[in-house]
Amino acid sequence: MGGEQAKVEETEHGLTAAEPGWFVLNLADARWTGYEVAGRWTDFEPPEGFEHYGIGVHVLEPGQPNGKYHSESVQEDFLVLAGECILIVEDEERHLKAWDFFHCAPGTNHIIVGAGDGPCAILMAGLRGESKKLHYPVSEVAARYGASTPEETDTPRVAYSDWGGDFEPVRATWPL
């Protein structure tokens, strides 16, 4: 367990791990996923994801939220790699720029929205597991950016019910 190298597969949209194990992958060569409303993010994990935590880079254009305003029962961390964004945390806006770090303690309501003149790249990491619970409160501040759930819920399907369309595999457009 853990000492085996993972098989990395080439897809039409880039490289991705096909199984658990260690691997090295350049993000410019990795498979990404995109959604018109919410930007693009790395999709290099094996099909069942990493066992203990999720990690990836999310690229947002100005005005794009990375999801819906929410809290999680586990901690998350965010490092702005390039560009600018607005962090909405506990219904307050904070302007972030490259190298700003946000530690999100369990139970903290938050979402990130792209800002500035171009793309914003954010390294995101968070715990996984059966104990992870989500909560989506309604937020007037997040609603100004299209990032509030239509109604308070603990169900992602309900929280995202007003976002139509599909997530699409895409080629990397970042690193620039």
Domains of the chain: 8-162 (2.60.120.10)
The CA distance from 21 to 46, in Å, is: 9
Tens of pLDDT along 37-73?
Answer: 999 999 888 888 888 899 999 999 999 999 999 999 9
pTM for this prediction: 0.92
29 has a pLDDT exceeding 90: yes
Average pLDDT, the chain: 93
pLDDT one-digit tens code per residue, 67-115: 999 999 999 999 999 999 999 999 999 999 999 999 999 999 999 999 9
Q: In the chain, what are the helix, strand and coil shares in percent, each to the nearest 5?
A: 5, 45, 55
User: Is the backbone peptide bond immediately before 119 cis, with ω within 30 degrees of 0?
Assistant: no
What are 165's two structure tokens? 């369309």
